[in-house]
Amino acid sequence: MSDLTGTGITRRDVLKLLSVLPLLTVDLPTLQAGRLPAAQDENLPNFLILVFDALSAFHLPFYGYARQTAPNLTRFAEKATVFHQHHAGGNFTTPGTSSLLTGALPWSTRAFHLQGTVIAPYVKRKIFSELGKKGYYRTAYSHNNLVTSLFFQFHQDIDEFIPTRELCLLDDEFADQLYPNDYTPAFLGEWLTFRGGETRPSSLFLSFVHRLYRSLHKRMKTRDYRDQFPRGIPELHNLSFVLEDATDWIINQVQKMPRPFLAYYHLLPPHEPYLTRKDFVDIFHDGWKPVEKPEHPFTEGHTNQFLLRNRREYDEYIAYADAEFGRLYDALEKNGSLENTYLIVTSDHGEMFERGVRGHVTPVLYEPVIRVPLLIKKPGQQAREDVHIPTSCVDVLPTLLHLAGLEIPDWAEGQVLPTFGAGEPDSERSIFALEAKKNQKHAPLTKRTVMMVKDRYKIMHFTGYEKYNDVFEMYDLQNDPEELNNIFNSHPALASEMKSEMFERLVQADNNFLGA
């Protein structure tokens, strides 16, 4: 047999490929068809939540970053409420998003694994369920399949759940179509069968077929978009897209949705790979360098030169996401969609380029990976408000329920955000985040990192790690925002107080899993 491609693929291989292509392009009905809720009250406010994945507050100019990465978000901030010490529930998508949607921390929902989901009680404990009680039309979309796993869990309380593929240029997944009631295990099985995962694929032929099919398809798409995206088309989990398509779709979607609505749109940029649009390539070749920090015991071995280059490309990708946000914001303002709408802009987690670590899949919970933006524009708001006390992603659910006139359920672990409720904000409360992707789901947290922020101080505890077990780090975020001076041993009284509170909360979290 002749080699048709120069890669060892023969005519017989291509014939085999053609015989299985129907499996790769199966088109079954989508999960929801835009059903309407039972009752509607157009006097209630709408809620539009935009999540830009992996957007660190440390890289935004209105929080003090040196580069002008986000002129449109900066412009938006001048007519919004800006939260300066806002924290995610975890350091990657699953815990960060589940906490945002449920108003509960990962140690309660147990959604702290890659492709993880919430435990049974929290399937109904979420923003979609609660706002449904007031007749809200609820819609959701995500570029990120980790979020899609949560949507499949929550789909009975989402009126319109749009599959990721609807806004993708290249999509060869079909687990959600074949097994809508078992999306997460089906997705993992599909990954192992066709991509091989981290181990040898369970089907050598189908894995080969998948790679060939995808390679040919991606080559064509890359060629079509080469002028716009010289570094490659944005992608994640073998799904390729351009943010412009999502921007256009959201503008149209928001205009035609029934009122009142809750719209949750989770957009991938600036999550890696940092494949920005051509007009933002190399705009930050400015020679600027951040504070250099020593390697951490959890270093991934990256050099400062490597981290500086990746930081620059990440900043350029933020600029692309910001430009599309600006286009979206201007269109919604112009067409009147924001007249009775709270526009909420945030992220599920941040990104790190320091201490030998790149990205966010790491056991450390330093501020660049855990502190995220939160900007909320109230209907008609024309002046900026700044909130400097610590807040958490679990505060979004109780805040929206309060604005909709609903009671806050006792399982919610957050509180109404400052300036959005009656009474004085609690400046003495503690904020928590968790990393536990190597811990068992239904077992006490014995391999994890936990972080607590209280006022100006932050404490982290690492346990269960072979080379960094039962270690504390503590920082004064006001005087040491770069977290360079560990004061755990030099402030014993404060350290003891914060340690006791943190451990008390951990014991409470583990109580339901002691028999595991």
Tell how strand 170-171 and strand 239-240 pair up. Answer: antiparallel
**Is 332:254 a contact under the CB 8 Å cutoff?**
yes
* CA Rg value for the chain: 23
Tokens of 416: 């109404």
**Is 158:252 a contact under the CB 8 Å cutoff?**
no
**Is 77:131 a contact under the CB 8 Å cutoff?**
no
Q: Which fold has domain 37-165+237-430?
A: Alkaline Phosphatase, subunit A (3.40.720)
Q: What does the pLDDT profile of the chain (516 residues) look like in tens digits?
A: 443 333 344 444 444 444 444 444 333 334 454 555 555 777 899 999 999 999 999 999 999 999 999 999 999 999 999 999 999 999 999 999 999 999 999 999 999 998 899 999 999 999 999 999 999 999 999 999 999 999 999 999 999 999 888 898 876 665 666 566 666 665 555 555 555 444 444 444 455 555 655 665 566 667 778 899 999 999 887 788 999 999 999 999 999 999 999 999 999 999 999 999 999 999 999 999 999 999 999 999 999 999 999 999 999 999 999 999 999 999 999 999 999 999 999 999 999 999 999 999 999 999 999 999 999 999 999 999 999 999 999 999 999 999 999 999 999 999 999 999 877 778 889 999 999 999 999 999 999 999 999 999 999 999 999 999 999 999 999 999 999 999 999 999 999 999 999 999 999 999 989 865
Question: pTM for the complete prediction?
Answer: 0.88
- Alpha carbons within 13 angstroms on the beta-carbon side of residue 44 total 24
What are residue 249's phi and psi, to 5 degrees? -65, -45
Beta strands in 411-468 (DSSP E): 430-435, 448-454, 457-463
Q: What is residue 184's predicted lDDT score, i.e. its pLDDT?
A: 63
Closest CA to 113 of 152, 87, 88, 146: 146
Region(s) of the chain under CATH 3.40.720.10:
37-165+237-430
Q: What is residue 427's predicted lDDT score, i.e. its pLDDT?
A: 81
Tell how strand 239-240 and strand 235-236 pair up. Answer: antiparallel
How far from the centroid of its chain's Cα atoms is residue 75's Cα?
23
Calpha distance 191→232 (Å, rounded) = 22
Calpha distance 245→248 (Å, rounded) = 5
The length of the chain is 516
DSSP 8-state secondary structure symbol assigned to residue 195:
I
**Is 398:127 a contact under the CB 8 Å cutoff?**
no
Sign of CA dihedral 187, 141, 155, 347: positive
